[in-house]
Chain A
Amino acid sequence: MFEYAPAPESRDIVDIRPSYGLFVNGEWVDSLGDERAKTINPASEEVLAEFAMADDADVDRAVAAARKAYESVWGRLPGRERAKYLFRIARIIQERARELAVLESLDNGKPIRESRDVDLPLVAAHFFYYAGWADKLAYAGFGRRTADGAGFADPRPLGVAAQVIPWNFPLLMLAWKVAPALACGNTVVLKPAETTPLTALAFAEICRQADLPPGVVNIVTGAGATGAALVAHPDVNKVAFTGSTEVGRQIARTVAGTGKKLTLELGGKAANIVFDDAPLDQAVEGIVNGIFFNQGHVCCAGSRLLVQESIEEELLAALKRRLGTLRLGDPLDKNTDIGAINSAAQLDKIKELSEAGEQEGAERWSPPCPLPDKGFWFPPTLFTGVAQSHRIAREEIFGPVLSVLTFRTPAEAVEKANNTPYGLSAGVWTEKGSRILWMAERLRAGVVWSNTFNRFDPTSPFGGYKESGYGREGGVHGLEAYLDV
């Protein structure tokens, strides 16, 4: 037996302060209120740092700083000047990538392999990509004709953007929000999730390191109340939210009728559809990557496996064998495939839905997988014999739990895939090119991956249909949300 010895990434590279304030107008300030909270390492339950729970007055102060920076500096700066700052930020992120990856894994629980090889490269790529757009906005397709009709003028920014991000990809979601906002000339007040504030606070330092003018990026930490105050603030022009459908609905209600521009990126229950002519070994990898990447804490996770009935047995045997090789444990170990569940609350939700799956008659299976004593853990799990009517086939579990369903024909695959209130992503596995196109035309999902899954790129728009939200982030489409067009 070839056992891999522990290969932990050193955490000495990160410097976590015992306590953090808020980042407003380019400075660290104490909260005006006195409520504070702690963020913990979900793999050990060790307290990492204390941070402020910003109240209404803090939010007001941050929005005022963003407004002032927009009116006096950022909104007037030529695109090529804004680009310089964004390129600088992108380069600093690359230089500090290892530190940021370790910090992300500590605070979030995701394996270092993912934060190092997926999150951080994408974060830098997003800043590089939108830095490139900053001086070319006139040519992005949203430009106004100049008075003489000879060319295009830059479209106008919106003003102050209120951005609320989730805990599953803390720094990456920050990049998705902040990079296009700044490239288009807006200023930002960002609220990270209360279980994962540390990389956003590290990003505040990066803004200072890059000499970003004060007030262009403001970061207020806190929980739901802080977010609610931020999106409801009357001086905010744009609201961007990534998170649960339930909170998304509340935000849509708050924002309705105010004239604020809104984009929502919400839940999902994606179908990963495997046809009998699929490249089988790669489909198995795609299924694993679709649902066990980031412990399944992925809004576009392929949480429903739709497999053609004729190959169900063969595929499940291969899938189970593969799940037996997954390595669960210390997120900082470079060989870990599955890290910790982000919080006790999320673990409870995953357990509750998995128990519901068993009660409704689906068959539960996990490979032999010892779980660490401390921290929040859930083994990779799959359910077979799942029907469309089961809760585990309809509700977003947001954990490492896969529901397996079967289909007989392409039409039935489409019908089952679309039969969900969500519509964020889908996967199609077949070696037949014409079938890929046929399926993609019919699947109501913002992203359709073919013979791959959970692949992201800053040039590609991302967003949902139906209860998965509206608006697109990424690509040229992502600019529209931050421009007055």
Chain B
Amino acid sequence: MSTLTTSPAEIASSNASLRAFLHGLPGVDRVGADQRAAMLGTRSIKTTAKAQAIDLAISMVDLTTLEGADTPGKVRALCAKAVRPDPGDPSVPKVAAVCVYPDLVERAVDALAGSGVKVASVATAFPSGRSFLDVKVADTRQAVQAGADEIDMVIDRGAFLAGDYRKVYDEIVAIRQACARDAASGGEDAHLKVILETGELATYDNVRRASWLAMLAGADFIKTSTGKVSPAATLPVTMVMLEAVRDFRDRTGRVVGVKPAGGIRTTKDAIKHLVLVNETAGDDWLTPSLFRLGASSLLNDLLMQRQKMTTGRYAGPDYFTLD
């Protein structure tokens, strides 16, 4: 793809120019995209490749709890699991991050201090995003102040579907600014993951446009879903987003990560996603810093399959901790 000749700010200078750019991206043919994703889903990952994939997948998990019933105790337990997924086997890698609601960030930060596991917080009136911009900005700031390393924001799908791309863009830019940590505190800015909620965008053309919109506005990651809307992460949607980050790097040089979230429950699902990354964006993206799996129950299935590979037997579910 040719290099971008105009800067993101120029492209976003008006809603009309933003629209012209996004609608000028090549379309996505649904039948063809579904076929390609299904074909990649038939890849057979066995023996050494499977062992490698399982450990990689564990290290990419954003272990998530996003319930109204979340308590400090629940978060503490989840953090313990994140650092030491299998108490009986220290060779199991730790997960990438724990993902919680903003008011529980502090608990997670305490529990994970020094572990290397990141704390991610959803923000911006998650999951619907239907609130006022200053509320969303304040929501983000407080989460960052509480110590969140990563912010998972939602885009304004209503504005996107109404064609007001500029509003979506401006909001991402504002949240990105709210992710900044002041220099005095010495901390890095929080990384920004932008949730597109692809289940509500419905078409693959929209997924591609929203991906570009988020990347132009400065997203560090683009994420499929909140997990609260069905369908959440599907293989073809993740594939379209991987194509977007691949093309974005070609045209701008900047590398953006991808996070499918919601509905990834089995090792098989996780491995299919890794194959998709490998054969779409390329193996540069096969690292927790550029690819995450937003999940909760997935981790135990990964652990179960991992143990099966080393012992040759499946242990019952009671041999894996429920946190």
Residues of A that sit less than 8 Å from B by CB:
1-7, 113, 117, 277-282, 285-286, 313-314, 317-318, 325, 334-335, 431, 451-452
Contact = CB atoms under 8 A, between A and B. Distances in A.
Given A3-B49, A4-B49, A7-B46, A285 B1 contact: no
Contacts of B278: 2
B202 interface: no
Most buried by B among A6, A7, A281, A282: A281
B279 interface: yes
Contacts of B283: 1-2
B137 interface: no
A204 B281 CA distance: 47
B45 A7 contact: yes
A280 B26 contact: yes
Given A281-B26, A451-B29, A4 B43 contact: yes
Contact of A431 (B27, B46, B56): B27
Contacts of B44: 4, 7, 334-335
Contacts of B2: 313-314
A243 to B, nearest CB: 29
A451 B29 CA distance: 8
A334 B33 contact: no
B26 A2 contact: no
Given A281-B243, A282-B36, A314-B1, A2 B29 contact: no
B208 to A, nearest CB: 9
A314 B247 CA distance: 11
A6 B45 CA distance: 8
B47 to A, nearest CB: 5
| Chain A interface helix/strand/loop/mixed | loop
Interface in B177-219: none
A279 B52 contact: no
B257 to A, nearest CB: 17
Contacts of A334: 42-44
Contacts of A282: 28-29, 31-33, 36
A281 B25 CA distance: 11
A277 B25 CA distance: 9
B49 A5 contact: yes
Nearest to A280: B26
Given A2-B274, A7-B44, A317-B1, A281 B31 contact: no
A325 B32 contact: no
B35 interface: yes
A286 B32 contact: yes
Given A5-B46, A113-B42, A279-B32, 7 more contacts: A5-B48, A6-B46, A117-B42, A277-B27, A280-B26, A325-B279, A452-B31
Contacts, number: 70
Contacts of A4: 43-45, 49
B53 interface: yes
B286 interface: yes
Contacts of B50: 5
Given A279-B29, A451-B29, A285 B35 contact: yes
A1 B42 CA distance: 20
The 7 residue pairs across chains A and B that have the minimum distance between CB atoms: A282-B32, A7-B44, A280-B26, A334-B44, A279-B29, A5-B49, A282-B29
A431 B53 CA distance: 37
20 contacts: A2-B52, A2-B278, A5-B46, A5-B48, A5-B49, A7-B46, A278-B26, A279-B26, A279-B32, A281-B32, A282-B32, A282-B33, A285-B32, A285-B35, A286-B32, A313-B2, A314-B1, A317-B1, A334-B44, A451-B29
Contacts of B45: 4-5, 7
Interface in B9-52: 26-29, 31-33, 35-36, 42-50, 52
Interface string B216-250: 00000000000000000000000000010000000
A275 to B, nearest CB: 11
Contacts of A285: 32, 35-36
B32 A451 contact: yes
Contacts of B243: 281
A125 B170 CA distance: 53
A17 B293 CA distance: 50
Contact of B286 (A2, A113, A286, A313): A2
B48 A451 contact: no
A373 to B, nearest CB: 23
Nearest to B286: A2
Contacts of A2: 49, 52-53, 56, 274, 278, 283, 286
Contacts of B53: 2
B306 to A, nearest CB: 16
Nearest to B277: A2
Nearest to B25: A280
B128 to A, nearest CB: 31
Contacts of B52: 2
A438 to B, nearest CB: 18
A1 B283 CA distance: 6
Given A4-B49, A285-B36, A279 B43 contact: no
Nearest to B208: A281
Contacts of A280: 26
A64 to B, nearest CB: 46
Contacts of A431: 27, 29
A85 to B, nearest CB: 33
B284 to A, nearest CB: 10
Nearest to B51: A5
Given A2-B49, A7-B44, A117-B42, A451 B31 contact: yes
Interface string B268-310: 0000001000110001001000000000000000000000000
Contacts of B274: 2
A334 B275 CA distance: 14
Contacts of A6: 46
Contacts of B29: 279, 282, 431, 451
A5 B26 contact: no
B279 to A, nearest CB: 5
Contacts of A314: 1-2
Nearest to A451: B29
Nearest to A311: B26
Contacts of A318: 1
A430 to B, nearest CB: 10
A408 B44 CA distance: 42
B1 A279 contact: no
A431 B28 CA distance: 9
B28 A5 contact: no
A198 B315 CA distance: 44
A247 B43 CA distance: 39
A79 B33 CA distance: 42
Given A2-B278, A281-B28, A281-B33, A335 B43 contact: yes
